[in-house]
């Protein structure tokens, strides 16, 4: 099983998990779906799902007890029942479910995976498949990176230009960014609010909260291209960025840009019920603010020490707006140096030291250090690895990451630049996501045990059509680099 359960006591015999099995209790529909059982099972075998008063299980823990007659999942809340069903799914063999007892409680409350849909638009079928894969591994957060310099993917009714113009770019890099070669193929696409609402509901029904991210005030070139009044007038018109890297084009600090940000967050919160909303805040280049008279006025009016402090001003403003909507802001750890509000969740990406700094400053912290959780990094430095932004980040390093008990949780990142297709994405994601799942859910580390359980788990990934990187296989020959998804 992956992630490893808290305790497992084997029993004797098998529960016959066949088409005749009856399923009763809350989440019975999901259990039938995930276990492939018809709604009208009438055999003697019975799966029972029960809510019990056991505070020690917390909101997500469960007890699974399997005998030859019955498989019983008990939990204090429905989330625990869902994870119990996922465990059954992993335990099952063609002959049935082995008898025994599992007691399982997650270590971390936030077990996330970030998927970048800004660099490459991904079909909805891709996102649904990943929701299923996340839930299978007991991840409970899908962080969707919806906007960046290279594309705006979230429909905003008040500002239709964002998706009419900001969702498309003229061309994309081909090969590594440093080679400066382009494919000259337009790329783009966006998601309607209805599509995202349905995705969020589907995910919620499987125990996964979709946490949306809109990048403010940097990584905003697509927004500025679509709505030039958001940016800083220059000699050249700005287009949706066609190269990787960090754009100098950031949002200005005028009242109209502030009203825009509020409009976007209002609509975002109508679509996503998540209690958390990510506002970006990373890698904000300051050259436009440094030479902007409007920024100088804002700095003076707000009594800020200088234009760089406008990042914190943006962060406090957006977090305050979200607070008014009953949500909590999450930001990348760059915000930590700019007086963030106390209730801001810090997503610490620049290193383990940033996790510690954010904890020292009293924040709730999601550990996302690039040194351990950036799965877009190559797994090895072998010559056969496909192009990537950095690396190597071996499976063992990912598995070995211990974020400590003080964090809210931890999260894997899959930045999209070099992962244009599902196939490329799978190759980078798996099996390292299995290691993150275990680092997030389980206490303790046992690399030998993990490696053995991973071997037993890979056939399930095969069955689900995941094109994972075979452990120990330093190379990716045969991976199709073409077939990029374009929705126009
Ligand atoms: C980041 O990798 N810029 C958060």
Mean pLDDT of 352-372: 98
Query: Using alpha carbons only, what angle is made at residue 125 by residues 120 and 130, rounded to the nearest 5 degrees?
Result: 80
* Residues 271-317 pLDDT 10s: 999 999 999 999 999 999 999 999 999 999 999 999 999 999 999 99
Tell me which of 283, 337, 356, 481 is the catalytic residue: 283
Fold of 110-463: TIM Barrel (3.20.20)
Instruction: Report the separation in Å between the CA atom of 215 and the middle of ligand 1, taken as the mean of its atom positions.
Output: 11
Are the C-beta atoms of residues 265 and 318 closer than 8 Å to each other?
Answer: yes
Portions of the chain given CATH number 3.30.379.10: 7-104
Mean pLDDT of 130-158: 98
* Residues 220-241 pLDDT 10s: 999 999 999 999 999 899 999 9
**Rounded distance between C-alpha atoms, residue 233 and residue 122, angstroms:** 32
- Please give the backbone phi and psi of residue 191, each rounded to the nearest 5 degrees, phi first: -115, 135
**Rounded distance between C-alpha atoms, residue 124 and residue 132, angstroms:** 12
Tell me which of 159, 219, 249, 372 is the catalytic residue: 219
In this predicted structure, the answer to whether residue 486 has a pLDDT above a threshold of 50 is no
Are the C-beta atoms of residues 229 and 265 closer than 8 Å to each other?
Answer: no
In this predicted structure, the answer to whether residue 67 has a pLDDT above a threshold of 70 is yes
User: b/e per residue, 97-107, with b = 16+ CB within 10 A?
Assistant: bbbbebbbbbb
Per-residue confidence at 324, pLDDT binned at 50, 70, 90? Answer: very high
Instruction: Write the burial class of residue 328 (CB in 10 Å: 0-12 exposed, 13-18 middle, 19+ buried).
Output: middle
Token pair for residue 299? 């700095």
In this predicted structure, the answer to whether residue 485 has a pLDDT above a threshold of 80 is no
Average pLDDT, the chain: 95
Q: Which of 351, 328, 349 has the alpha carbon at shortest distance from 340?
A: 328
Percent of the chain with pLDDT over 90: 92
**What does the radius of gyration of the chain's CA atoms come to, in whole angstroms?**
23
Mean pLDDT of 444-460: 96
Portions of the chain given CATH number 3.20.20.80: 110-463
Is 7-104 a domain of CATH 3.10.450.50?
A: no
Mean pLDDT of 461-474: 89
Predicted TM-score (pTM) of this structure: 0.97
Q: Is 372 one of the catalytic residues?
A: no
In this predicted structure, the answer to whether residue 479 has a pLDDT above a threshold of 70 is no
Most informative mutation of 118, 147, 244, 349 for ligand 1 (most atoms within 8 A of CB):
349
């Amino acid at each position: 099983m992956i992630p490893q359960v808290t305790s497992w006591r084997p029993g004797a015999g098998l529960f016959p998990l066949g088409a005749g099995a009856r399923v009763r209790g809350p989440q019975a529909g999901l259990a039938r779906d995930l276990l492939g059982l018809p709604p009208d099972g009438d055999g003697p075998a019975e799966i029972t799902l029960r809510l019990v008063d056991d505070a020690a299980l917390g909101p997500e823990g469960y007890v699974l007890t399997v005998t030859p007659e019955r498989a019983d999942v008990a939990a204090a809340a429905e989330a625990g029942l869902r994870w119990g069903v996922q465990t059954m799914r992993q335990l099952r063999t063609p002959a049935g479910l082995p008898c025994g007892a599992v007691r399982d409680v997650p270590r971390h409350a936030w077990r996330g995976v970030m998927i970048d849909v800004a660099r490459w638009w991904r079909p909805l079928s891709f996102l649904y498949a990943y929701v299923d894969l996340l839930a299978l591994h007991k991840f409970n957060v899908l962080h969707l990176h919806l906007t960046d310099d290279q594309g705006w993917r979230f429909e905003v009714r008040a500002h239709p230009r964002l998706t009419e113009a900001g969702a498309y770019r003229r061309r994309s890099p081909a090969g590594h960014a440093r080679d400066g070669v382009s494919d000259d193929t337009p790329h783009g696409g966006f998601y309607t609010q209805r599509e995202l609402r349905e995705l969020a509901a589907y995910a919620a029904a499987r125990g996964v909260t979709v946490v949306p991210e809109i990048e403010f005030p940097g990584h905003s070139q697509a927004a500025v291209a679509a709505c030039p009044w958001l940016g800083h007038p220059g000699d050249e018109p700005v287009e949706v960025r066609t190269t990787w890297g960090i754009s100098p084009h950031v949002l200005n600090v005028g009242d109209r840009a502030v009203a825009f940000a509020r409009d976007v967050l209002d609509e975002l919160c109508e679509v996503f019920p998540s209690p958390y909303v990510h506002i970006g805040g990373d890698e904000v280049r300051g050259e436009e603010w440094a030479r902007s008279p409007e920024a100088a006025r804002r700095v003076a009016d707000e009594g800020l020490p200088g234009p760089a402090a406008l990042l914190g001003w943006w962060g406090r403003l957006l977090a305050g707006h979200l607070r008014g909507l009953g949500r909590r802001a999450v930001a990348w750890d760059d915000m930590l140096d700019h007086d963030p509000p106390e209730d801001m969740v810090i997503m610490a990406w620049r290193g383990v030291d940033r996790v510690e700094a954010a904890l020292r400053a009293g924040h709730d912290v999601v550990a996302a250090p690039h040194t351990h959780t950036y799965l877009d990094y190559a797994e090895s430095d072998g010559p056969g690895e496909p192009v990537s932004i950095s690396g190597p980040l071996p499976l063992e390093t990912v598995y070995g990451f211990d974020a400590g008990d003080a964090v809210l949780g931890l999260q894997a990142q899959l930045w999209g630049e070099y992962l244009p297709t599902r196939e490329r994405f799978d190759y980078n994601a798996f099996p390292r996501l299995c290691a993150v799942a275990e680092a997030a859910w389980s206490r303790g580390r046992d690399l030998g045990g993990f490696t053995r359980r991973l071997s037993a788990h890979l056939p399930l990934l095969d069955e689900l059509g995941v094109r994972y990187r075979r452990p120990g296989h330093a190379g990716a020959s045969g991976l199709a680099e073409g077939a990029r998804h374009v929705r126009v």
